[in-house]
Amino acid sequence: MRLLRKRAEPKGCLNLDEMSAYLDGLLPRKLRNELEDHLAFCSACRRTVIDLRAILTSPDNEPVPECAEGLGDACAARLRLHSLADLATSA
Ligand SMILES: [Zn+2]
């Protein structure tokens, strides 16, 4: 079955670094406001943030959820976070 076709993102869409910083509460208020303004009208980014938050808050020992359609980036982010965590704990 054909998965969701990747659409061209409207200009100004958020990248995963911004989203994860937002979810971690690391963004300065100005950026956070801009990001929330964007989320208010961009359902694609809003959904990605929701998906990303679900991934980031799921316990580490849970199996990685299967990459649902449109979740490729978020899954990649999770994998990246995992390797960062490995680096942090092995240091
Ligand atoms: Zn967007």
Over residues 65-69, mean pLDDT = 59
36 Cα–ligand 1 center, Å: 10
- Going from N- to C-terminal start, the domains of the chain cover 16-90
84 Cα–ligand 1 center, Å: 26
38 Cα–ligand 1 center, Å: 6
What angle do helix axes 72-90 and 43-57 make, rounded to 10 degrees? Answer: 30
- Examine the pLDDT at 60 and tell me if it is beyond 90: no
Query: Structure pTM?
Result: 0.52
Over residues 13-31, mean pLDDT = 92
Do 10 and 35 contact (CB within 8 A), yes or no? no
- Examine the pLDDT at 12 and tell me if it is beyond 50: yes
